[in-house]
Amino acid sequence: MLAHLQDWLTLGIRWIHFIAGAAWIGASFYFNWLNHSLRPPEEERDNIGGEVWAVHGGDFFQVNKFKGAPEKLPGTLHWFKWEAYLTWISGFAMLVLVYYLKPGYLVDPSVADITQSQGVMIGLGTIVVGWFVYDLMCKSPLGKNGRLLAIIGFAMVVVVTYALCNVLGSRAAYIHVGAMLGTIMAANVFFVIIPNQRVMVDAMSKGEAPDVSLGEAGALRSLHNNYMTLPVLFVMVSNAHPSTFGHEYNWLILAALTIIGVMTRHYFNLKNKGKKQPLWLVASALGMFILAYLVSPKPAPALSENGAASSPITFAQVQTIMEARCTSCHAEKPTYEAFPTPPKGVILTSYDKIKAHQEQVKTSLETNYMPLGNLTKMTAEERQTVIQWIAQGAQFP
């Protein structure tokens, strides 16, 4: 019952996380677009630098951008901050519910021999230290050299990814890179962008000129958030694709996809500024194809050492292995208490059911993703036996 409640709590929070994230990113894309779509006003008006006309949902809208500060602020000013905060809070709650409180995801003995609590410390440590290092870099003289900062920042993300992929379970390693970047994005809003805006608004309401350096610091963080968006989203969706995080070179895949995400974003940023350079988008698409090719699974190696064709594997052998290593979770009624229902609806108790999931089973075994965290201590030989059986056509005797 408790596990079931935890499952539904996670479901509800995941839903909120998705909605808040969509609202945050939607608003950020929208303002980005807005800022670059401004045209000089058709009729000269005081202090108006640009305007955008739009039609949406049958209504007409006119948005004005002030040249400097507006003379007078209205009673209500929208800040767009709760989308970011709620995304972070719900994301953190999921991290705790799925990775820290459930067994299997965080620690994988075949990767590193650490305890669950050590895994939690490493995960939380990465997120906290990641923010402080990033923040210090932005405030240091490096913050003045945007390009160098980006290169060093990217190199550090790759190092963190590599390190995490060598201490945590692969899916947890990926999600912690996403959590670190997502935390930086939300903390940028909370600690820099919003407070700086507040100081500027206060100055303006007292009739003083706002300190432009505060606006510049906020703009730098906004720009970073803009480029981090697509890589972070990739990490979130990659969770459903063991061929990414479960791959031998998972850290390189994440690094490559970060570059692809940044290039894609760059294309849209340039396009918004009126510079159409489709090569960026072509390069991203090409990168995806090349990556898909590079990570395609190798044919299963023959079991016999001397290279002769391996002898056919019987279903009985496979069934014995599944019963020992898989069905505690993948049955109609799992006996593994953390999983009240068969995960992903994958049931492996009969020939038909196994056959129906054979491709997924093969990938999950080739990538070492299953058994989850190898909680059931599957041996390498058993793994090869099942992979080989599927490669031989998953025959029933």
User: Which residues are at the interface with ligand HEC (CB under 6 A)?
Assistant: 104, 242, 325-326, 328-330, 336, 339, 343-344, 346, 348, 357, 360-361, 364-365, 370-372, 375-376, 378
Q: Amino acid identity of 302?
A: A
Q: Which is nearer to ligand HEC, 52 or 324 (CB)?
A: 324
Buried b (16+ CB within 10 A) or exposed e, 199-237: ebeeebeeeeebeeebeebbebbbebbbbbbbbbebbbe
Cα torsion for 39, 45, 48, 49, to the nearest 10°? 40
Q: Which is nearer to ligand HEC, 131 or 336 (CB)?
A: 336
Residue among 384, 349, 393 at smallest CA distance from 365: 384
User: CA-CA distance, 273 to 277, in Å (whole number)?
Assistant: 11
Q: Which is nearer to ligand HEC, 200 or 372 (CB)?
A: 372
| Position with the least CB separation from ligand HEC | 326
Supply the minimum distance, in Å, between the C-beta of residue 13 and ligand HEC.
15
Supply the minimum distance, in Å, between the C-beta of residue 126 and ligand HEC.
21
Q: How far is CA 390 from CA 1, 58, 147, 324, 362, in A?
A: 36, 56, 49, 18, 7
What tokens appear for 66 in the block? 């002030």
Q: Which is nearer to ligand HEC, 7 or 135 (CB)?
A: 7
Supply the minimum distance, in Å, between the C-beta of residue 264 and ligand HEC.
25
User: CA-CA distance, 369 to 366, in Å (whole number)?
Assistant: 8
Supply the minimum distance, in Å, between the C-beta of residue 232 and ligand HEC.
18
Q: Which is nearer to ligand HEC, 181 or 375 (CB)?
A: 375
Supply the minimum distance, in Å, between the C-beta of residue 321 and ligand HEC.
7
Q: How far is CA 154 from CA 102, 161, 396, in A?
A: 31, 11, 50
Supply the minimum distance, in Å, between the C-beta of residue 168 and ligand HEC.
15
Q: Which is nearer to ligand HEC, 123 or 371 (CB)?
A: 371
